[in-house]
Structures are given as C-alpha cells and as structure tokens.
Amino acid sequence: MNPTSTALPATAGNAPSEAEPHEKLQKRVVRVLVAGQILGGVGMGATLSLGALLAAELSGSSAWSGMAATMSTLGAAVVAVPLARMAQARGRRISLATGSLTAGVGATLAITAVSINIFPLLLLALMLLGAGSATNLQARFAATDLAVPKFRGRDLSVVVWSTTIGAVLGPNLFGPGEVVGSALGLPPMTGAFVFSLLATLTAAVVYAWGLRPDPLLTALSARSAGPDAGRAARGGLAILRNTPKARFAVTAIALSHATMVALMSMAPVHLRDHGASLSIVGLTISLHVAGMYALSPVFGALSDRVGRIPVILGGQAMLLAALTINWLGDGSQTPMTVSLILLGLGWSASVVAGSALVSEAVEVTDRSSLQGFSDLSMNAAGALGGAVAGPILALAGYSGLGLAAMLLVFIVVAWSARRLARDQS
C-alpha cells in the first residue's frame, strides 16, 4: 500500500489533534527547523573552508582542493532522493534526523582521515558530511509542507536564513578548534570538526524530538480525502517531463548552485596562495556565507509579492556582477570579498525563489519526489562545478574561472526572460 495515499491516524508522530489548527502547528514546525538549521550550519561551516585546505594538504596538490566541494556536494546529491523518499514514507522527522546523524559520522571520519593521513578516507568523510547539506536543503522544503501559498516564500526563506548563524560561526571556529584539537591531541585544522560532530548530533535530536506532529505526514493525511487520494506519487523525472514550471525551477536552482560552488570552492586556496592567513580565509568565507543566507527573508518576501521569476532574474544579475568583479579584479582580498558577498546574495535570491517555485509546481502528493530530484540536480551540478573548478583554476586562474561561470548565468537569464514573457502575454 502506498503510504502517501492512506489517511494516517492522529498519533503523536503523524497528525495533530482536531483542536490544533495547521497554522499553530506550522509556527512550531518553523521554530524547530530554525533551531536545526542553526546547528546544521555550524557543521557545514567547517566543511566549506577546511575541506579544500585539508584536501590540498593530504593530496599534496592544490589541484585536488576542488574535490572537497565536489565530494560534499556529491554526497548531498547521493542522499537527496533517499532522504526525500524516507520523508514521503516516514515523515520529515525521521528523514532530517537521519541526515544529521550521517553528517556526524562524516565529521568523525574527517578527523580520523587526517590523523592517519589517508586522502581517500577524507574524501569519503566529506561525502558523508554532504548529508548535512542535503538535510539543510530538505529542511527548507519542510517549511512549505503546511504553509499557506501567500506565505510559502516567507516561511521557506526564514528557515534558509537561520542557517546564517551557524554557517557564519562555523568558519570562525578555526581558532577555537585548534585549541580544542590540541587539547584532545588531534592534528592541526581538525579541531573544528569536533564542533561539527557535536552540532550535527544535537540537530538530529532536535528534529527527532521537535517535529511531532510531522508536517509532511500531516499534509499528506489532509489530502487523503481529496482528488489525489489513491494516486501514487510520480518520480522526479516523470514530473519534469510533464511540468514546464518544475523543469525551469529545477534547472535555475541547479545552475545557480553550480556557479556558486565553482567560485566558492576555490576561494580558500586562492586566498592562501596570495598570502592570506587562516583567519582571513575564515572571515572571507563567513562574509560569503552571510551573503548566502542573511537576506533570504527579503528575497522570500519579494518572491511572494512580485513573483518567483523576477527574483530569480535579480539573483542572476547579482551573480553576473560578482563574476564581473572577479574577472576584472587583480586577485587582491577586497574585490574578491565583494565578489564573494555578491555571489552569496545572487545564490540566495535564485535558490529561495526557485525553491518556492518547486514547492508550488505540483500537488503535495508529488512534492517530495520533485523536491528530492531538485536537490539531487542541485548537488550534482555543484559537484560538477567543484570538480572542474580546480583544473580551470590551474589553467586560467581565478579570474578565468569566473569568466567561464558566466555561461551558466546567461542560460538561466535567457530561460527566465522567456518564461516571464510567456506568463505576461
């Protein structure tokens, strides 16, 4: 029997009592997701910056540094669909907790890999840590399960915004991490992963305990008596073949993410090659991550008010500005910092508006399948972007990497303009 097509009993893990309206439950769900995102952001922060440096150190070549972002995003891509299927069958609570626990295993393996100097084990660790990114991405969709349409972008963006706190804090735990690592007898630059381990384990507890009743199972239960009752959820590819809006939204998110990952993954190596200290690297990445998340509620509210596609176009304009500054810059810290902040802002606008478009492109019965496929596409594109960034950096430099990424922006702009013209005609 398809678990999505049968009404679920009103137990503590499934549906709320009749006295508890969805509006009240939605507010509580958002609060729990915010707490989990803050913790998940701490775990993600170390992976973003330290991963590239450790990959270069253990491999002996900066050309391998891009594999850190590649393996992390590849790991997020690999678990995206299984986590979505788990959410469809057992709810967001189990899915998000499982993803956080998997990331905790990755943090443990990262420390082990550096301790015994095994580069392939570090790549596996980074891949498992990618489950934390997949969990953070799924959490934004969990905010839309019970949201009313006019506030869908707002609720989604609030959860995305909450990642700012942990993700900005994470890269700045390098110094304290070195102190903790030294006290525990760990190798240099691995102490921050101790904070990642503690954060992801706590996030798993928050999700498992706090998401009761489960928002997705509640939404599916409410739809069980509607016109979709008895219909099995379609797969992501089937949805894309038959839904132009979903096809556009998934592509816009994926290409925007690939652009961001390609530039961000090489930033720590480029800064270190130009003499920046580890503290400067951490601060620069923190500012970039702040750009990714801090203004997401603004972009969410704008997408509710003026529409998803105009906000996506605005995001592409910021990405193009970032790439242009990067292309014309001299490699010094100030223009690179400005470029990375704009890169984060452009990513935020594009992903927040695109994610809201994904959530409203299909009915709730198909929503998890499409969301999982969207996250798979997003992270696969990011993994590819990170993989090619290293060789491009070696051949054409950091400015050449930015120039190459402009092609992805132009694709999204052209498609967005076409859809906007069609919608307004």
Per residue in 390-424, pLDDT (tens digit) is: 788 778 877 788 888 999 999 999 999 999 888 77
Tell me, what CATH number does 77's domain have? 1.20.1250.20
Q: Please give the helix or strand (H or E) that residue 243 lies within, else none.
A: none
**Is the pLDDT assigned to residue 10 strictly greater than 60?**
no
234-248, 284-298, 304-318: which has the highest mean pLDDT? 304-318
**Mean pLDDT of the chain, nearest integer:** 83
pLDDT digits (tens, 9 = 90+) for 138-189: 999 999 999 888 889 999 999 988 877 776 676 677 777 778 878 888 887 7
The answer to whether the CB of 86 falls within 8 A of the CB of 134 is no
pLDDT at residue 11, rounded to an integer:
39
d(CA 230, CA 227): 9
Phi and psi torsions of 2, nearest 5°: -70, 120
Q: How far apart are CA 253 and CA 235, in angstroms?
A: 19
- Domain hosting residue 40, numbered range: 22-221+234-424
Asked if residue 2 has pLDDT above 60, the reply is no
Helix, strand or coil for residue 16? coil
Output the DSSP codes for 161-201: HHHHHHHHHGGGGHHHHHHHHHHHTPPTT-THHHHHHHHHH
Q: What is the mean pLDDT of residues 243-255?
A: 95
| SS3 call for 152 | helix
Q: Provide the number of structural domains found in the chain.
A: 1
Q: Which stretches within 60-91 are classed as H helix?
A: 66-90
Domain presence at residue 7: no
In-domain check, residue 15: no
**Tokens at 392, concatenated:** 């491009």
How far, in Å, CA of 215 to CA of 222, rounded? 11
For residue 293, the model assigns a pLDDT of: 83
pLDDT tops 60 at residue 381: yes
The answer to whether residue 109 is domain-embedded is: yes
Residue 185, CA distances (Å) to 55, 170, 180, 191, 403 in order: 21, 21, 9, 9, 43
Q: Is residue 14 part of a domain?
A: no
Q: Which amino acid is at 305?
A: R
Determine, yes or no, domain membership for 12. Answer: no
Looking at residues 54-76, what average pLDDT do you find?
A: 79
Residue 319 to residue 103: CA distance in whole angstroms: 29
